[in-house]
Amino acid sequence: MREDVAEILFSEKQIQEKVNEIGKQITEEYKDKELVLIGVLKGANVFMSDLMRKIDLPVIIDFMAVSSYGLSTQSSGVVKILKDLDQSIEDKHVLIVEDIIDTGLTLHYLCDNLLSRNPKSLKICTLLDKPERRKVELKVDYKGFNIPDEFIIGYGIDYAEKYRNLPFVASLKREVYEK
Ligand code: IMP
Ligand code: MG
């Protein structure tokens, strides 16, 4: 698995420090509010579980699963809901927790969908962002790191369902996804 890593971009320690920082910021900004965290499966699973423990508020968590990529490395722009929320978000302060934003198509779709359920507020938190790749405008409220246009794996993020359990964020060797 590790022989497919091109370069480690963010170590466990760097990620942990960033997650602490974002957690603190969210704790301050949602003080006295009821917050629902929505993790986007499966990629945001690891980030979500670290982040929620750094938020010192009575949060509720829920998950959605959407598919945009299939097994390839290119976003199709077609988003399908594979698992919907368990609970209503009407009148709730909602924060979407995502692993990585690329074209923005997935979150654009998701935001539209969630806004139609009338939350009190809706914001976006992502660990990683590839701003150069954006195809639709998106306001990112909380962000870990900007990254260049490379294929990323680790810390929950996969290529063809593999590498999610790497504890760091890395780029994948081209020969792995171009073969
Ligand atoms: P978007 O719709 O193009 O913004 O893509 C969003 C989703 O594609 C993310 O939630 C990831 O699951 C996946 N994705 C985007 N870039 C990468 C990457 O570099 N590695 C693995 N998955 C990615
Ligand atoms: Mg994702």
pLDDT, one tens digit per residue, over 98-117 is 999 999 999 999 999 999 99
pLDDT value at 73 more than 80 = no
Residue nearest to atom 20 of ligand 1 (CA): 152
Cis peptide before 42 (omega within 30 of 0): yes
Q: Judge whether 1 and 166 are in contact, CB under 8 Å.
A: yes
Residue corresponding to tokens 């986007």 = 40
Angstrom distances, CA of residue 12 to CA of 20, 47, 117, 151, 160: 12, 12, 36, 19, 22
Secondary structure of residue 90 in the 3-state scheme: coil
Ligand lying nearest the CA atom of residue 103 = 1
First to last CA, the chain: 16
CA-angle at 6, arms to 136 and 68, nearest 5°: 30
Residues near ligand 1 (Cβ within 6 A): 43, 68-69, 75, 98-106, 151-152, 157
Share of the chain above pLDDT 70, in %: 94
Run of H or E residues at 153: strand 152-153
Cβ contact 37:59 at 8 Å = yes
Give domain 12-150's CATH architecture.
Answer: 3-Layer(aba) Sandwich (3.40)
pTM to 2 decimals? 0.94
**Structure confidence at residue 69 (pLDDT):** 56
Mutate to test the pocket of ligand 1, among 102, 109, 157 (most ligand atoms within 8 A of CB): 102
Which parts of the chain fold into alpha helices (H)? 12-29, 45-52, 105-115, 174-178
